[in-house]
Structure 1
Amino acid sequence: MPLAFRNRCGHFILICLGVLLLLLPGYAYEELSDESLKALPRPNEEFDIHNGALLSPILQTRIPGTPGHDAVLQHLVNYIRTTLPKWEIDLQNSTSQTPVSNGEDVPFVNVIAYRDPPGASVGDVERLTLVAHYDSKLTPEGFIGAIDSAAPCAMIMHAMRSIDIALDKKWADMQARGMDPSFEEERGIQVLFLDGEEAFDHWTDDDSLYGARSLAETWDQEMNPAMSTFKTKLSSISLFVLLDLLGSKSPSIMSFYQTTHWAYQNMGALEQRLRSLGQFKSSSSDPWFIDTSKDSRQVVAMGGIQDDHIPFLARGVDVLHIIDFAPFKGFPPVWHTMDDDAEHLDMDTVEDWTVLVTAFAAEWMELEGFIGEAENAKARRDAELEAEAIRLNKKTEL
């Protein structure tokens, strides 16, 4: 092959690789300004452990098949239907026998809620997916599971509403400027409240992850319409962000997967920015995200932490596992004990997690300029740019 031809081929390949990198999800991630980070709404009284509208109804035993579980399920569904009417909501039902059900089937219900750009076709939108489980353990009797995972559910509920308001503003702005959100925007957001994460007897492949296993299998087999961008609902998940065991003071979060280490680093950077801006209530001498300085090649997958992500990870879904665990420290001290109750939550940390998750989702959905007062700042900047353009145009005409 002539040298000149080889050089042209090499140049063409480099161009193609550059274009490909720009199309990867990580390269569409847009940082929020300091102004937007300061404008992120906090849950405040909604997270009161006694009568807060979001958190307190989840702080009860919620074993699948019991009245407490049904009450929490209804709380989640009612919140989405009344507060987030533009979100689609699905309930995925399954049943399974457990080691303690005496041959009877136990019902499991996964709550699925998502919002896509206006007019988007089914199967053509990739979705950031925020996940937590809402069931609690059978033993010890009366176990609440505040960090495991009542608080993560409430964090996601608050983030959903904050993101929803900003999405309304963003997509309305696009339409006002003559842009079609269904054509210009390929990203939506999705939430999974998964059921049956906990083992009924002791953790095995069959006695655990009941809801996650059912949903992953179902979504892997159900096809989207022909000619869709994404073949299945499973393949449309751009990032599976699982929150678990969050709400104890001074958490330690590891990076588990090379393919999502960049997303882990982005969340770690957000933590540090929010803290430096005075937007965190909790005090911590050490960063929560302990692996941010690592190169992705230094990240070693740990197969020992079994959680709701496993059935999805096994099917090729990119996972960011946000769980309080570190070598030589283990899980939070209250884990799977009666002390995992409302009184042992560090509420400053719970609120800070909520702000951080909201910020990460807002950056993923490119909502800069549409968060709280930041919208007004954006409008002022746009007006200034328009006025400057008019001034320059008149100057040119003269």
Structure 2
Amino acid sequence: MTPNSRACWVLSWCLPLIWIFGFTPIAQAYTPLSDDSLRSLPRPGNDFDIHKGTLLAPILRPRVPGSPGSRAVLEHFVKFFETTLPNWNIEFQNSTSKTPVTGNKEIPFVNLIASRDPPNVQPGNVGRLTVVAHYDSKFKPDGFIGATDSAAPCAIILHAIRSIDAALTKKWEVLKEDPAYELGLYDYQGIQIFLLDGEEAFGQWSETDSLYGARSLAEHLERTPHPALSTYKNPLEAIRLFVLLDLLGAKDPTVPSHFKTTHWAYQHMAVLESRLRKLGLFKSAKQPQKNGSKKKPQPVKPWFPDRLKHADDVFSPFGIEDDHVPFMKRGVDILHIIPSPFPDVWHRIEDDAEHLHPDTVEDWGTLITAFVAEWLDLEECLETDTLPSSRKGERSKTEL
């Protein structure tokens, strides 16, 4: 059967259903990753090494908006995409603002938006998983690095999208052969990342002295219309889930569930954490024993303790103020991955490379990769051929 005849056959089969039910897109499945797929997720190697790591080390420097350090980190991001993920689209959203400590000087803020959408689909018809971190560092104290806040989250995101890119390519190559895809009947899902500038206050945190980049970008996306008859009227509406990472990299984080509307996504993240631990794939969960010690290792507390919290339980109406706020005010669903309490080094000069916990940073990279792969339904496209045969075919039941 030729492609044209195949498309005609599917059209003849679909038209009665379309006439009855309307032009409802085919919802794409959310398939939990098998144990084999979790084991096959790429590990970062030395990418998170604080001295020579290709992803993290270049970010571990002061990067106040408008400074040479900020420009150097932005160049690092651009080079990463140009050399590693050339199929991704990169754009910048710029703004300027005065701040309470810089007088009449206009400070530039540069947001980087990188996206990858299904092939041959108009942007207005693509919903996007959006993964976000800020890359700027505080104005004071002088020399502040902000390793958890948020150099490590930026590197974790770069690792995750690089890890799923080949599987995403494979999935879309297969989908292009599906006549339903050709006919525009799919619920098209892409992915984008925001690396935001100007999250930190220059003086004292307020509505006007904070979230400079996020406020500008949210307004810009809302005011940028998609063509008439698009599925989503603007890029803001196309954000299906806004996953914000912040203050990650310290040992033993505790991440609460902030919002009722995304508690289901929080639970998926919690299930993945539990499964990765059970499979022995979390480095930070392995506690070294002292020679001759007969004491049993203490159980590690889960990072997502609200997993069993019911959706009808009381949730904070605001959560923690962060880059998600301008988007949440415009109706975007938010999954905020931020520890509470904050790391001990928060906003202190000690929030530097040496105070990161390397195994925890790597585990976050694995967990976020797994979550993104499940959201994009990549189970059948992840490469597992390199696993030992004795470990193939294992699948876990994932129950919330």
For normalisation by structure 2, the TM-score amounts to 0.84
Indicate the larger mover: 368-377 or 139-148: 368-377
Q: Distance in 1 between matches of 2:240 and 2:161?
A: 17
Residue matched to 1:272 = 274
Match of 1:34 in 2: 35
CA distance in 2, matches of 1:137, 1:24: 45
In the alignment, what sits opposite 2:318?
A: 303
For the pair 1:348 / 2:350, whether they are aligned, the reply is no
Q: 1:152: Cα distance to partner?
A: 0.3
* Contact 1:257–1:299 (8 Å) recurs in 2: no
Name which of 215, 227, 238 aligns with 2:240. 238
Q: Distance in 2 between matches of 1:24 and 1:217?
A: 31
**Could you list the per-position Cα deviations for residues 347-387 of structure 1 after superposition, in whole angstroms to 9, with x for gaps in the alignment?**
1000000000000000000000222216999xxx9xxxxxx
Gaps of 5+ in 1: 1-18, 382-398
SS in structure 1 at match of 2:305: coil
Name the amino acid aligned to 1:64. Answer: P
TM-superposition CA deviations, 1:327-347 (whole Å, max 9, x none): xxx211010011111101001
Structure 2 gap segments, 5+ residues each: 1-20, 286-298, 393-400
Three-state SS of the structure 2 residue aligned to 1:203 is coil
8 Å Cα contact 1:246/1:350 also seen in 2: yes
How far apart are residue 178 of structure 1 and its match? 6.0
Question: What is the RMSD of the two structures over their aligned residues, measured on CA atoms?
Answer: 2.2
Shift of 1:305: 1.4
Report the residue type matching 1:204 in the other structure: S
- In 1, distance between residues paired with 2:88 and 2:191? 9
Mapping of residues 310-389 of structure 1, within 5 Å? 310-325=325-340, 330-373=341-384
Q: Contact 2:62 / 2:144 at 8 angstroms: preserved in 1?
A: yes
Residue of structure 2 in register with 1:141 after alignment: 142
| Greater fraction helix | 1
TM-score normalized by the length of structure 1: 0.85
Contact 1:255 1:299 in 2 (8 A): no
Name the structure 1 match of 2:161. 160
Name the aligned partner's letter for residue 364 of structure 2. W
Counterpart contact for 2:26–2:187, Cα < 8 Å: no
Deviation at 1:54, TM superposition (A): 0.5
SS at 2:100's partner residue?
coil
Equivalents in 2 of 1:108, 1:142: separation in Å?
Answer: 19
For 2:386 and 2:167, how far apart are their aligned partners in 1?
A: 9
Shift of 1:183: 4.8
Q: 2:213 aligns with which of 205, 211, 217?
A: 211
Identity of aligned residues (%): 56
Question: Residues 1-398 of structure 1 correspond to what in structure 2 (within 5 A)?
Answer: 28-175=29-176, 180=181, 183-184=185-186, 186-283=188-285, 285-301=300-316, 303=318, 305-325=320-340, 330-373=341-384
Moved segments of 4+, more than 2 Å: 22-25, 173-185, 374-377
Does the aligned pair in 1 maintain the 2:40–2:387 contact within 8 Å? no
CA distances 1:43-85 after superposition (whole Å, capped 9, x unpaired): 1211111011100000000000110010001111111122111
Match of 2:18 in 1: none
- Name the aligned partner's letter for residue 377 of structure 2: E
Q: Secondary structure at the match of 1:127?
A: strand
Q: Which moved more, 1:161-170 or 1:231-240?
A: 161-170
**What letter corresponds to residue 78 of structure 1 in structure 2?**
K
Contact 1:248 1:332 in 2 (8 A): yes
CA distance in structure 2 between the partners assigned to 1:38 and 1:199 by the alignment: 41
Distance in 2 (alpha carbons) for counterparts of 1:301 and 1:186:
32
